[in-house]
Structure 1
């Protein structure tokens, strides 16, 4: 059976009735597909670029150049599209209620389209208030897969302990016949860059539950890994190595990476976004390992040997060793890295960079297990 075409951003606003609002957007394309819709206003379009978490130097330069061009009124080869909106539709009403405004005026917004090649594609909308300032971020999706992920993220954010730092401010949700949506307070800032070990260490240390100790069987991610890889000899070896572990669990984000983090330009505060994989009981280190490994694979495009070197550098870092001691996992870092990669490849089945992650898993298993 042929795969269904990906959900498009226009489907979010398809509704019965006569459209009573028309908004014009500039479209930015990636690989020939629209992935960023910018308001027609150049000022709002420039402010909307904060939606795009550019990671590579090339992408950051392109985002900066586009921002400058918009602010200076330079001509841009961006296709314009018009969106017809039925303002009485549940999703449109939800957006309007989030920022209020004058009667008869629909809020300006920008839209970032999620990966079209993954199941459960979602869209991120940035809503502007009456003063044309970014105010609310909305994650929306259509279909069971997208709705399930949004509901899971909503449930996690609403039930997370209030003492946990780094979470966005939850506002409200929408569950209509067609669209599932989650609204959060807008967070200013950009993705972390460069050496940020102290920043990672500070936020992840705050997620450790020092009042509780668990074993591997208490960790949902480990249970999922066992189900998916029960016949894998590597799992049997890891089970033996982890058998006597008794450690402090940690909040597990599941996609802790620079593109899901905002660092405030005002006070350096870190806020972590996209909690659809969030778990209250997880392995300490896995989020840190994810940050280092996935950045190395997807952003820096490192060869397997360089990824191994980067991990060895991490293991020797003062802040990482302090984190291990805090969680009670000193000396287990190599096996935790192998377990994380096995989980990433076999459970998450990451679409981008999977071949390199698989190669790294094989190299680490050979270097750190087969040679023992």
Structure 2
């Protein structure tokens, strides 16, 4: 993309900000958004920060018919001294481009994408809440916009970034949850779109989640789509198990999303000299470990919750209560460390933090 400038159009009316103790995930949105267009032969162009507003899109736009879209999710955090900072944002942009490649969407310039996100967050810095556990959720996404009903990659796209202040995921401490092992529906298969962050993956997962919720379960544990025996993800999170002192997580195999929190957990465990491995793990192995008293902890990892401890797994009529239904020591330590780094309460030996400078809002 030749033009690296970001045009600014300030909102003439400011929205009323919700109270920090009344934030609901993904319901309130800030004053501005970032928009950039793609077309042949111009490439990515017309980068702008504009007032948050509805999109004008042709009903025949290909996004509505063939689902060619990708998205990301990351957060901005306010520190005790008032600074605003991001957590490993370059990884989100790298993954966005990997997802785009799978969906035949042209890549964005990752350095420019990060510049746009930082400038947008800086402009709406006052929207970053300061109550414990709150943050500003950042949603970059790309949609296909060519008005055409033929099945082919679109020739037009929009890259958009919107912001939403969100409350603490755990208001009263980490809450271990009950999970049902899914044995009917399939999340993804190798060669499909499981390793891409695309909307269709999430739409396909809703039915299973809806079904298990009727039984009082928070989410499903997904198994592989071929043999239905190897563990892949829990809900929309990566999953970890502590078995006889070693932490195990499913190896990336082409159908599992490469989580940024997942990668951070693995780096932390290695830093602490806690044995950790990425490999295939079956439900049979997990159940055997539980029967022998060796399944010590289980937790999901992702942007929204950071860590979500698993209190119980239900599989083929058998209930596996883990660590007495309580949060494990490693789970708690990982959660406390990552959130401590995110909010600037702990040192960052990994260079994971990217500061957002307020002055970037006026740069041209």
Does TM, scored on the shorter chain, surpass 0.5? no
Higher relative contact order (CA 8 A, sep 6+): 2
Greater helix proportion? 1
Higher strand share: 2
TM-score normalised according to structure 1 size: 0.29
